[in-house]
Amino acid sequence: MGALAQSEALAQGSLRAVDLMQATLARIEAVNGSVNAVVSLRDTDALMQEARAADAAPRRGWLHGIPMAIKDLSDAEGLETSMGSPLFAGTLAQKDSVFVGRLRAAGAIFIGKTNTPEFGLGSHTFNPVHGATRNPYDQGRSAGGSSGGAAAALASGIVSVADGSDMMGSLRNPAGWNNVYGMRPSWGSVPGEPEGDMFLHQLSTAGPMARNPRDLAALLDTMTGADPRQPLGLTPAPVLPTLYGDAPKLTIGWLGDWGGAFPYENGIKDLSATAVAQMADLGHRTLDLEAPFDADAMWESWITLRSFAVAASLGAIYDNPAQRDHLKAAAQWEIERGQQMSAMQVQRASVIRSDWYRAAALLFDSVDVVVLPSAQVWPFPVDEVHPTQIAGQAMDTYHRWMQVVVPASLIGLPVVNVPAGFGANGLPCGLQLIGRHGSDAMLLRLAQQWHEATCWPQQRPPVLG
């Protein structure tokens, strides 16, 4: 069942929270050992007691009595927040992160955390604290990241809805690789934390994940809304009510390989193009687009601003000789780059970012949605750190293989990953639906129409347990 279906059954009394919790715990016992999606699982007796209390209490919101696991980068009071780092293993959160508090207020029962790479760096979920999360469709392969635990938990039937976060595709890549939906919302709509710098480092955002767009929209509505302690926030209108009724006919632009800039493994580009053609069958106008901006300039802007942000967040750990060696190589590389940058390097990167935003605004004057694959490679072996080449082209950083997500990440555009089908290798592939800033409701409406036509998560669930 989806989360809204569970919610309706709980409200009507045809399902009890204790039954849902028992089913959740039974599913965890049956399959979590194979995928390692949920970590820091709470005590069974405590969870059952909380479920019984939910059955006895007035409904607090649409998530009342529904089990959730929070990504292990965010705080849920009383649960461990390790961030996948030995430096923070066993650290219990003293309060909820802002959006986590909103989920709790809506009635969610937090059963534990979902696994993530160390500090969320890298689109492959493994760390020295909780180990690697495995893809439910092939346990020898990666579930993606950094929201790999959340995506695998959804695909495996452990939870019905989940939170994720996205700096460089962390909601999109794992959703695509696990045949579920993940959304990076418009920047500013889901607040971060009211601490530290709140102006300069605007690259990442939290967002929802689910097995259908209705649940995605419902969770987004719960997570969004400006926090008065933070600047630049948005309070968008609810999107769930907009999913119903006839969908408008849209102009959808296919960006392919961005004029040859993005290499893909065999099958990904063709499968994605086939999915775009299916959107034309739904009544939309589709067209092939030329690359709207220089990919190399965009990449240089991205890696400058990303290293600048990572150095700001993890620099204190790096500067402590007793802690530095506990950081993985990718984190140390990012911090070293960021600490060596001049103010004018960062300024130039921000100008390129601004140029791309202006170019994107012109692009969206002629199309409603632009489309790219959610990843450039298929899920790779779980014991590999990251791909070092794609179609014979060497990757010069640990994250270059995810360059396809940068156009939206760099300027904070909303993106919905939709499942696009399966390759000849039996592995799932995802598609990024990208819109102009603030077009979240339109993207979700298109995703809902796509889901009604394809139902990939329900049509082809993984075989586990």
Q: 141-198, pLDDT tens digit by residue?
A: 999 999 999 999 999 999 999 999 999 999 999 999 999 999 999 999 999 999 999 9
Tell me which of 74, 97, 146, 204 is the catalytic residue. 146
Catalytic entry in 40, 71, 328, 374: 71
Which DSSP letter does residue 92 get? B
Closest CA to 178 of 247, 254, 123, 224: 123
- Per-residue pLDDT at 245 exceeds 90: no
Active-site residue flag, 147: no
The DSSP secondary-structure symbol of 184 reads E
Amino acid in the structure at residue 115: N
- pLDDT tens digits for 346-365? 999 999 999 999 999 999 99
What are the beta bridge partners of residue 287?
A: 253
Q: What is the DSSP letter of 128?
A: T
Q: What is the reported pTM?
A: 0.98
- Give the C-alpha separation, 326 to 74, whole Å: 20
DSSP string covering 369-410, please? EEEEES-SSPPPBTT-SS-SEETTEEPSSTTGGGGGGHHHHH
* Residue 246 confidence (pLDDT): 78
Active site residue 71: yes
C-alpha–C-alpha distance, residues 287 and 302, integer Å? 27
Beta strands in 25-132 (DSSP E): 38-39, 67-71, 109-114, 126-127, 131-132
How far is C-alpha 273 from the geometric centre of its chain's CA atoms? Answer: 23
What's the CATH number for 3-298+344-459?
A: 3.90.1300.10
Looking at residue 452, its pLDDT comes to 96
Average confidence (pLDDT) over 63-82:
98
Distance of CA 157 to the CA centre of its chain: 17
Bridge partners, residue 112, by sequence: 69
Phi/psi at 153 (5° precision): -65, -40
Q: Cα separation of 331 and 318, whole Å? A: 9
With 90 as the cut, is the pLDDT of residue 465 above it? no
Residue 348 to residue 81: CA distance in whole angstroms: 35
- Count Cα atoms within 13 angstroms, Cβ side, for 324: 11
CA distance 289 to 211: 30
Q: Residue ranges per domain, the chain?
A: 3-298+344-459
* Catalytic choice (7, 82, 170, 272): 170
CA separation for the pair 68, 66 (Å, rounded): 6
Average pLDDT over residues 123-139: 98
144 neighbors 176 (Cβ within 8 angstroms): yes
Identify the pLDDT of residue 99: 98
Considering the chain, what is the average pLDDT of its residues?
97
Task: Find tokens 């014979």 and name the residue.
Answer: 392
Q: Is 170 a catalytic residue?
A: yes
